[in-house]
Structure 1
């Protein structure tokens, strides 16, 4: 990122106001909520830590920009890297100046998804491959979609070559796709073992996603059965009944998880899990666990 632009960022903020954190801390002192939270996170971790026989690929997309798909992809990749012991890969298949590297705090970008399509060979070791990737914390790696160039391109054939070649090196790969109906996004959704549709908790967002899910019901059964909607809060007080919207989306056969509005995520900078509100951390862990479980059901 350009140094001058980086200097415009404000200091990262926590996901919830101080007064709310203090209030919640006081309640936790006189209740069993902390114990229940630890128990649930332990349960969630058990699902995420399940071994895989072949690498699981999870595609994240949305119907339109601004739905939070890159944020969801970063949350998923961070969760898998935290809980799993095998290497985790995050791929940016949105080359048109995508923001996944920014969300992951990656400054130096070298090789891109399109570049690696012409480089990767079957005889390469994990060490060889990771030499072309950006290293992240917790044994995670990033393959960016561009080097900050406007108009960078990624063909479906290049995407397929990279994903087939890299699958054997990583236990889980999270792909941040272009928005639908872009061609690479459609290929990624079809090839992935599980898929996530990021949807803003707005009337138009839910309506558009519902229409897409209805269309997916006409595809092979595994498509809708392996799809999770991440209903993302865009404001502290949403303009719709989120519970009712989630139930409507579930009626299509897709799973739905609600990610509450979080000030830290809304700031748009590098993701720091320690600054997320507790409800956000728990919701992200639940989402990661269900998506991983669904990916395990399809070989």
Structure 2
């Protein structure tokens, strides 16, 4: 297939300069606090989380990311997870897009163009292929890792369950960690991915209907034969600086099912769309992303 740009060149030119996730005042305040307090405890916690993310695996681990509806930060969370795994781990990491035909994971990961998609690769995969053969069909990610998009950015047939199973089963042996950006529930591919993944991340918007709908998903996961709740983490996202729902109450409602909830704060850089620049993320966002990656990897490694 021919390469296709992920973003129309005219739109790329129209993009303004990306904002930093934290305001200048907040960044200055954080610098002052660092100068006046001991950083030993913070360094210890960061080292602990890094060890969780770097846990060795005997077979490839798959982390599926989904939500109950679009526009809540699902793809953004998937991109943050894959970038975090790529940064901390020293083995191959794959970001796999299993969203609808017009998913935005390639844009979020900074891919200028895409060529091979899931369906294209599914037709040529065979057991004799080496990692170097596979990566020739993938898009390299700047911070480390690889990307396989679901499509070439054109309207067409969505990814089907058979193709998803073929690709994930074949690629697991090449990549230590695969982050799957699923379609929203109750899509068939999303349900298959959630049922077969080693760990699951459900993205819940910090709104009454978002938390309520996510609670229904968690109740469904608890009814699966292998009790998927033990390997599920919820990312509670704030998509606006003016969220009115009490975050502690929302997290407590979701924790009643037994899952871990990781709040992901509002970030001006992420809200602007486009490619994610790790150097522009707010400090709270970086901490949330590393904690989410550590929680997901711990659960993925637990599964045999």
1:138: how far off? Answer: 4.2
Aligned residues: CA RMSD: 1.1
1:211 paired with 2:216, answer yes
**Is 1:56 the equivalent of 2:61?**
yes
CA displacement, residues 1-23 of structure 1 (integer Å, 9 cap, x when unaligned): 21001112111110011011111
Structure 1 residue 215, shift from structure 2 partner: 2.2
For structure 1, list consecutive stretches of 5 or more residues without a partner in the other structure.
none
1:229 aligns with 2:234: yes
TM-score by length of 1: 0.97
Task: Indicate the residue corresponding to 1:257 in structure 2.
Answer: 262
Q: Which runs of 5+ in 2 are unaligned?
A: 1-6
Q: Distance in 2 between matches of 1:94 and 1:236?
A: 27
Of 258, 274, 279, which residue of structure 1 is paired with 2:279? 274
1:160 to 154, 165, 178: 165
How far the C-alpha of 1:176 sits from its partner, in A, is 0.2
Q: Provide Cα deviations, 1:2-52, integer angstroms capped at 9, x if missing partner.
A: 1001112111110011011111211211112x3332221111111111110
- 2:172 partner SS: helix
Q: 2:129 pairs with 124, 128, 143, which one?
A: 124
CA distance in 2: counterparts of 1:97 and 1:292, whole angstroms: 28
**Contact 1:111-1:144 at 8 Å conserved across structures:** yes
**How far apart, in 2, do the equivalents of 1:111 and 1:25 lie?**
44
Distance 1:41 1:206 in 2: 29
DSSP-derived class of the 1:168 partner: coil
Write the mapping of 1:143-222 to structure 2, written as runs, cut at 5 A: 143-222=148-227
1:222: how far off? Answer: 3.3
Query: Which one is further off, 211-220 or 278-287?
Result: 211-220
Report the more deviating stretch, 35-44 or 9-18: 35-44
- Confirm whether residue 10 of structure 1 aligns to residue 22 of structure 2: no
Question: Given the alignment of the two structures, is residue 106 of structure 1 paired with residue 111 of structure 2, yes or no?
Answer: yes
How many residues get paired? 298
How does the TM-score come out when normalised to structure 2? 0.95
**Counterpart Cα distance in 1 of 2:225 and 2:301:** 17
Deviation at 1:155, TM superposition (A): 1.2
| Secondary structure in structure 2 of the residue aligned to 1:14 | coil
Please tell me whether the aligned partners of residues 97 and 152 of structure 1 are also in contact (alpha carbons under 8 angstroms): no
